[in-house]
Amino acid sequence: MLCTNVNMILFGLLVSLVNLPTDVAAAVIAFGDSNVDNGNNNDIVTMGKANFLPYGKDFEGGKPTGRYTNGKSLSDIMAEKLCSMKYLPAYLNRSIQDEDLLKGVTFASGGSGYDPLTSKPMNVLTLLDQLVLFEEYIGKLERIVGEEAARDIIENAFFIIVSSSNDWAISYIGAPLRSFQYDVPTYAKLLVTLARNFIQDIHKLGAKKILVFSTPPIGSFPLARTMAGGPHRMTVNKYNEAAKSFNSMLKCQLQLLGKSLPESRLYYVDFYYPLLNIIENPQKYGLQVTTRGCCGTGIIELSILCNKFISTCPDRNKFLFWDCVHLTERGYKIFVDQIMPDLLSDIQSRD
C-alpha cells in the first residue's frame, strides 16, 4: 500500500509539472501512417522520410521534424482538440522526455498500413512493429509512475488509428500484388479483419477509447488524379469506390466489436465524406486549390520529390494539400473542425 501511495503521489506531481488535466484523458496515443507520423521514420533506413525542408517550414522554428506537412500533423491537431496538447511527439524521437511519455506519443510510420505487405516496399514500421513499441512504452510508464498509475494513463487515453490509405495506394494499386490475389470487396474484408485484430491487441494491453479513421477519398487526391485521372486529372472514381467499400465494412465491424470488448468505446471517424466535401467546395472553407499540392507542381511531389530545391506556393493557407497526398496544416485543421463537434458529442454521451 505504501508503494502504491508513493507511486500515486509521484504521478500527481508529474501531472502537475506537465500541466495535465486530471479529470479528462491525459494522453493521446496514435498508430498508423504518415498522417499521424511525427518523426518515427527519421532514423529508419527508408525512402519514406519528411525530415527535410520544405516539410516543417511552418512548424516551430521552421524546422523539419519528420511530419509530412508544412506544420502540425493530423495527430497533433487531434491531440490539441482532445487533450489541449501543443503537439504529439514521435515515440522514437531521441530527445523525448519522461513528461512527454505521460501525455502520449505516436508510434505511426509513414508508408505503413493494416496489411504487413504494405510496409515492405519502403521498409517502414508495420502495425505489429508499432504494437511492440507500445508494449515497450507501457513498461517505461510503469517505471516512471508505477503499474497502477500507468494502467490509469492507458485506460483513460484516447487511441487514434489512421491506416488503410497505403494499403490501397501501395499494395493494391501501386505494387499491385494484392490486386492479383483479391478483388476489391475481398481485399477490403481482409483489411477489416486486420484492423479488428489490431484493435483487439491494443485492447488487451489496456486501450479503452479507440478512434478508428476510415479511408479518405484517395481517388480525389492529387497523386491519383495525376496517375490515373487522364489528361484533365479527374477524380478516379474506382479508387474512391474501393475506399467506400472498406469504410462500410469497417463501420459495421466496429459496431460489432464494441459490443464484444469489455469496457471499450470504439469510435468510427469518417475521413471520407468530410474531406471530400472540402475538396469539392474549397471556397466554403476559405481555400482556393484542392486538386494539387502546394509543393512544386503539386501533381507528383511527395517525400524526396518535395525538397528544398523546388518552390512552394506563396500562400499555404489557400491550399488543402501540402504535397500530392498529405494535407497542409490548415487543411488538417479544417478537416478536424468538421468532425470534432459530432465526435465530442459522441464521446461525452458515452462517458
Residue 203 is a catalytic residue: no
Least Cα distance to 286 among 316, 313, 311 occurs for 316
CA distance 224 to 333: 23
Least Cα distance to 99 among 136, 47, 53, 153 occurs for 153
CA distance 209 to 25: 9
Residue 119 is a catalytic residue: no
Residue 326 is a catalytic residue: yes
State how far the alpha carbon of 24 is from the alpha carbons of 9, 98, 258, 337, in Å.
18, 20, 21, 20
Report the 3 state secondary structure along the chain.
CHHHHHHHHHHHHHHHHCCCCCCCCCCEEEEECCCCCECHHHHCCCCCCCCCCCCCCCCHHHCCCCECCCCCCHHHHHHHHHHCCCCCCECCCCCCCHHHHHHCCECCCCCCCCCHHHHCCCCCCCHHHHHHHHHHHHHHHHHHHCHHHHHHHHHHCEEEEECCHHHHHHHHHHCCHHHHHCCHHHHHHHHHHHHHHHHHHHHHCCCCEEEEECCCCHHHCHHHHHHHCCCCCCCCHHHHHHHHHHHHHHHHHHHHHHHHCCCCEEEEECCCHHHHHHHHCHHHHCCCEEEEECECCCCCCCHHHCCCCCCECCCHHHEEECCCCCECHHHHHHHHHHHHHHHHHHHHHHC
Catalytic residue (one of 95, 163, 326, 345): 326
Catalytic residue (one of 95, 109, 323, 337): 323
Catalytic residue (one of 33, 34, 115, 220): 34
Which residues, including other chains, have CB under 8 Å from residue 105's CB and lie 6 or more apart?
A: 29, 30, 88, 89, 90, 91, 96, 137
The catalytic residues are 34, 323, 326
